[in-house]
Amino acid sequence: MWLVYKKELLEILRDKKTLIFSILLPTVIFPVLFFGIGAFVDSKETEAKNKEIKVTFINGDTFEGFTELFTAEKLFKKVTIESKDYKEEILNNNTDFIIEIPEGASMPSDSSRQEVINLYYKGSSKLDNISRGRVNDVIELYNNTQRLALGDKFNLSTDNVKAFNNPIDVENKNFASERERLGEFAGPLIAYILIALAVSGAMYPALELGVGEKERGTLETLLLTPMSKGRIVLAKFAVIFTASFFTVVVTLLSYFIWTYIFTLWFNMGGLGFLSNISGLDLLLVAVLLVPLTSIFASIMLSASIYAKNMKEAQAYMSPIFMLGFMPVIVAFVPGMELNVKTAMIPITNVALAMKDLIKGTVDYGMIGVLLASTLVIAGAMLYFTTQFFKKEKVLFRS
């Protein structure tokens, strides 16, 4: 059995496709792309926050001190336009925002009524909304001065003005740590990536060791050896499991190394909560993947052995791939947590446990329940694969 395992493993390692898809992509290319996209989005948002905004005022002198608030702010530039076609002026980038105070309007503190101004701009993306938010912040600043002026007019104190403006204010006191808040979103995402890698990492070796051997005609030679069919299938299963689990573990380590590099060198503080994950939690994430990877290795080996050719085997892999993803989505549902019931649901239980481990709120007792239930399923799947491999009508299906 050890000789078959060694021979199959060497064949897999000689395959360049396996090395690229199982090692290079998940450990180097995907993390660099993942953090590269994050850094790019971060830089674009910073650029939008620091971009100089051109503002045009129509009847701006109507509100005393209004235009001065904008010119006093950094990165706001007051510009004039020649045309009354506001749309054309904005689309030609002559100005970014046009603030029009209608004819006949007066300062709210003088008219004692709400005045409406028009804000013209072109915005379709999140970055445009950042610029609009900066303009609205200055307008809100002017609103605040008018509130205080109205308060003086009606002999109201600052507290009275606050009460009228916002009768009930809510001061949030959130006891959840940063790790818990960010882990609620990042936990299922990390689980999704790792489970996807477990599935994809098992797929290519399974294709090669099952239907691949059928097409190459080497399966018959292997069956002529004195080794029992049970030991042969166990060796093949061990190779698929090794390749898949190795992919997941090195990816897990790679992501944390890249996280350390990007947070230290590129100051991406939003990922700092990952450094709070303990070594024990990281080890448990890897342990959780052992029975899960075994299940996928058994299912894919069975499908590959059953297939007549490579094309048919690849057709079987697609639904198995989807089968691996769908239960993970449940972990994204708000309020879903690991308990005795959810610990019995394959794949979903692993995703929920990973989420709790990333958040730092895991019940370690539930991890034991989860491992026990998943190991039973993994053992049953491996037994089924072994029995399946012993059937000649499956091995020599035509």
Contacting residues for 39 by C-beta, under 8 A, at least 6 apart: 262, 266, 268
Largest CA-CA distance found in the chain, in angstroms, rounded: 102
Contacting residues for 284 by C-beta, under 8 A, at least 6 apart: 353, 357, 362, 367
Q: Is the entire prediction scored with pTM above 0.75?
A: no
What is the C-alpha to C-alpha distance for residues 318 and 270, in angstroms, rounded to an integer? 35
What is the C-alpha to C-alpha distance for residues 317 and 315, in angstroms, rounded to an integer? 5
pLDDT per residue of the chain (398 residues) written in tens, 0 to 9: 777 777 777 776 776 666 666 666 666 666 676 667 666 667 777 777 888 889 999 998 889 888 998 888 888 899 998 888 998 998 888 999 999 999 888 888 888 888 899 999 987 666 777 888 889 999 999 998 898 888 888 888 888 888 888 778 777 777 777 777 777 777 788 888 888 888 888 888 888 888 888 888 787 787 878 888 888 888 889 999 998 888 888 877 777 777 777 666 666 555 666 666 777 888 888 888 888 889 988 998 898 888 888 888 887 887 787 777 778 777 777 777 888 888 888 888 888 888 888 888 888 888 899 999 999 999 999 999 988 888 877 777 66
Could you say which DSSP state residue 53 is in?
Answer: E
Residues forming CATH 3.40.190.10 domain(s) in the chain: 51-165
The CATH code of the domain at 51-165 is: 3.40.190.10
